Structure 1
């Protein structure tokens, strides 16, 4: 166990300075083993939230309420530690023993401020409804009752609250299976249990804002479901390792809910993606694909390609000769990666922090969207020191069988939904290279903007687009007027309400389709429209797309009979780019403070649409702009 950070944190707790220096404790957690993360988590739950907020207003917080059918207090420390690992200051509420149904129906502790409510059920919740001597058929009936009650209660919670709900599938206690002696009944019990969990998993497809965690992989990783003695004496029906793995899973989902999904995986090559040193053995000499060690590296390459197929951007930062790297990717049949799999290749002898920073700038994404994996302790250390917001994953070239597990375990790339926009992301970033070349060749910024031939389409999102609209609110931090996060269920409800509207913004230009890049949420009254939130991808900043969207909203509001449009800006640590949106379009400042501002525009003369942008209005109200190809 790594003790330096733990002892440091304990010393800060004893001296009363933990809250003042909590940022450095949280920053150090990704370097620690699980035991240390959980032990520090025990200290994190004792931190005074007010003092932390006063000392570190920019540190993100995460609040999770955990309820269930057994004693769940032991999850508090590992869950807090894993949330800290993901960069959050944690607040954990744990419900009373076996009171989950009443809490779902009447109110969960911390529900109002929670980022997620987690309901953890165990097998005894089914078996407590059965007589001492039971049959698989009776188990099926008991399971049906549990599911019916759970769905009703969770549906009621979602009607009164927008808080996401996480449920866990329920593992069959090994002792219960051991009670059955004949193989036919054992098979029947397994079928009953699996079918019930399948129905539970489908709840996430039927109830918006509800997500179901499959417990089976967690048990496989944890090694055991429960300690029989703790289950009997303390009603703690899950093992310490189980709580640790469940805490990791919950933290990954909360990070996705809060828009902290990583977008780009930056990989080293020698010792990370293949064996041997390329500069010493040449393009055909690297180890990959053949033999046990080569197959391990090939498996790692397969995982990386699978991530890329789901929208994760791939980049290389390797101390190597560029041409050697490209030759290996092109010509070595045993390497299951190609040049085209990567949106950026930085193969040179420059410091890796410099290359990684350049990759982020070239892709126009934040450093906190990058995950870097390397087998070198010194390289990892240099990146952690110079770029603390980059997630760094350690692998060991002597143990390539563990590489893929190391990359996947933390769930850095976890997303609520993989959208069509995600799947097209790599191709769009390649097209961006052409835009940059055109920008360098353009005579002026005006020539560049006109020559891009930008067109935006503003429509209410279809059912298929709701997940992407939600994703924009979750992931967009820099150009986001209020940074209010909304899950797909909330987006759909606002779209369908008579008192509000949701608009999605698509953008294309002469080099390709940017996809669905913006989302605007509007509250509608008879005399005014209020822009509750407007978020837009940074990849189209710098060409006045945001101005065109707000101008379109103002004109549509006027056509609908409104006399004014209002807007709100809530400051966050990263959204300074959106601070001047309303004022820049002629809105008057109604009120302003260090944290927020409100604006109003009388609609006698709505803002003009930028002349170099074509706005295609599918409501037949506006078609303006005369872009020149």
Structure 2
């Protein structure tokens, strides 16, 4: 958004950059704040429980940072956090949060596919889709819903359509826990291959090599879509620093 008191500048930006919001301002500067407020640019589309708890989460992050500084190494730090990772099917309570993450997460997002809340609900009811939300708790508090996975079953393959995570939990081996959960579902459903795609964007370069780091083999693709595959029979689930909790819907 651009706020400018010069009408000529506003007009120029609107023509050159139509994707930028440029509110029209009154002649009286004392009315600028009211005009901006009434335009609704800062209104949230959804407001989840995680949004309400944001202040507490910042305080907990400071406590985690202090513990990390006192730990001898990363393994000791992660173990001392006492983490619990939860895998739950999409539900009515958190559907808005799931849709919010899908539509705003850009960095740790392998495909950056966007879905409306209605589309997310439809996917959650599809017999050919595996959908779960990931929650992370530790001794300092609840991180809330920090990840979303949508995988589509295609014959003997689970194709990871959407995989995104909050960057605030990076470095805690959550990625490995998610793959371990997907592998568990593959084995329960007689699926022998897990497939994932990386669709490059200007912002998601941090996950360019994620599948490779997790043991996937390159399966070709194009410059616009890199495809990776994991042979379930050859995958060994590593020891991870989590207690795992899953509901009945996520256990099937």
Query: How big is the shift at 1:443?
Result: 1.4
- Unaligned segments of structure 1, at least 5 residues: 1-28, 46-79, 87-243, 249-395, 623-629
1:554 equivalent to 2:189? Answer: no
Alignment correspondent of 1:577 = 206
Q: What is the CA distance between 1:446 and its match in structure 2? A: 1.3
1:615/1:34 CA distance change after superposition, 3 Å: farther
Q: C-alpha offsets along residues 462-509 of structure 1, whole Å, 9 cap, x if unaligned? A: 112111111111111110101111111111011011121221001101
* In structure 2, C-alpha distance between the alignment counterparts of 1:481 and 1:426, rounded to whole Å: 28
CA contact (8 A) 2:198 2:208 kept: yes
Alignment of 1:306-385 (within 5 A): none
| Pairing 1:449–2:78 present | yes
How far is the alpha carbon of 1:410 from its aligned partner?
6.0
Q: Find the partner of 1:563 among 180, 184, 192.
A: 192
Name the structure 2 match of 1:538: 167
Query: Gapped runs of 5+ residues in structure 2?
Result: none
**CA distance, structure 1, for counterparts of residue 6 and residue 127 of structure 2:** 49
2:83 and 2:242 in contact (8 A); partners too? yes
Which among 71, 84, 99 is matched to residue 20 of structure 2?
Answer: 84
- State the alpha-carbon separation in 2 of the partners of residues 614 and 540 from structure 1: 16
Q: TM-score if structure 2 supplies the norm length?
A: 0.88
Is 1:460 the equivalent of 2:89?
A: yes
**1:37 and 1:420, CA in 2 relative to 1: closer, same or farther beyond 3 A?**
farther
- CA separation in 2, counterparts of 1:34 and 1:582? 49
| Counterpart contact for 1:585–1:607, Cα < 8 Å | no
SS in structure 2 at match of 1:608:
coil
Give the alignment's Cα RMSD to 1 decimal. 2.7
| In 1, Cα distance between equivalents of 2:99 and 2:10 | 32
Matching residue of 2:12? 40
Q: 1:495 to 1:621 in 2, by over 3 A?
A: closer
Q: Report the Cα distance in structure 1 between the residues aligned to 2:224 and 2:154, rounded to whole angstroms.
A: 26
- Name the TM-score, length of structure 1 as normaliser: 0.37
Equivalent residues of 2:87, 2:250 under 8 A apart: no
In 2, the alpha carbon distance for the partners of 1:450 and 1:461 equals 28
Kindly indicate whether residue 219 of structure 2 is the aligned counterpart of residue 618 of structure 1: no
Higher helix share: 1
Alignment of 1:3-82 (within 5 A): 30-33=2-5, 35-36=7-8, 39-40=11-12, 43-44=15-16, 80=18
Distance 1:596 1:540, change over 3 A: same
**1:501 equivalent in alignment to 2:130:** yes
SS where residue 462 of structure 1 aligns?
coil
Aligned to 2:105: 476
Q: Which has the higher strand share?
A: 2
**Which one has more relative contact order, counting CA pairs under 8 Å at least 6 apart?**
2
Q: What is the deviation of 1:526? A: 3.4
Q: Does 1:419 align with 2:48?
A: yes
Native 8 Å contact 2:88 2:249 kept in 1? no
Q: Distance in 2 between matches of 1:34 and 1:408?
A: 19
Instruction: After TM superposition, give the deviation of residue 429 of structure 1 in Å.
Output: 1.0
5 Å matches for 1:42-441? 43-44=15-16, 80=18, 83-85=19-21, 403=33, 405=34, 408=37, 411-441=40-70
| Deviation sequence 1:286-333 (CA, Å, 0-9, x none) | xxxxxxxxxxxxxxxxxxxxxxxxxxxxxxxxxxxxxxxxxxxxxxxx
Given that 1:547 and 1:610 are in contact with CA atoms closer than 8 Å, whether structure 2 keeps it comes out as no
Q: Is the 8 A contact 1:552 1:609 kept in 2?
A: no
Q: 1:423 to 1:547 in 2, by over 3 A?
A: same
How far off is 1:408 after superposition?
3.4
Separation (CA, whole Å) in 2 of partners of 1:410 and 1:584: 46
Task: Give SS of 1:577's match.
Answer: helix
1:609: Cα distance to partner? 4.2
The equivalent of 1:590 in structure 2 is 219
- The CA deviation at 1:593 is 4.5
Task: Indicate the residue corresponding to 2:119 in structure 1.
Answer: 490
8 Å CA contact retained: 1:551, 1:606: no
Task: Check the 8 A contact 1:568/1:596 in 2, yes or no.
Answer: yes
> Partner of 2:15: helix, strand, or coil?
helix
CA distance in 2, matches of 1:595, 1:420: 36
Highest CA radius of gyration, 1 or 2?
A: 1
Equivalent pair of 1:458/1:504 in contact (CA under 8 Å): yes
Check 1:560–1:604 CA distance in 2 against 1; reply closer, same or farther (3 A cut).
Answer: same
Q: CA deviation at 1:420?
A: 1.1
Q: CA deviation at 1:461?
A: 1.3
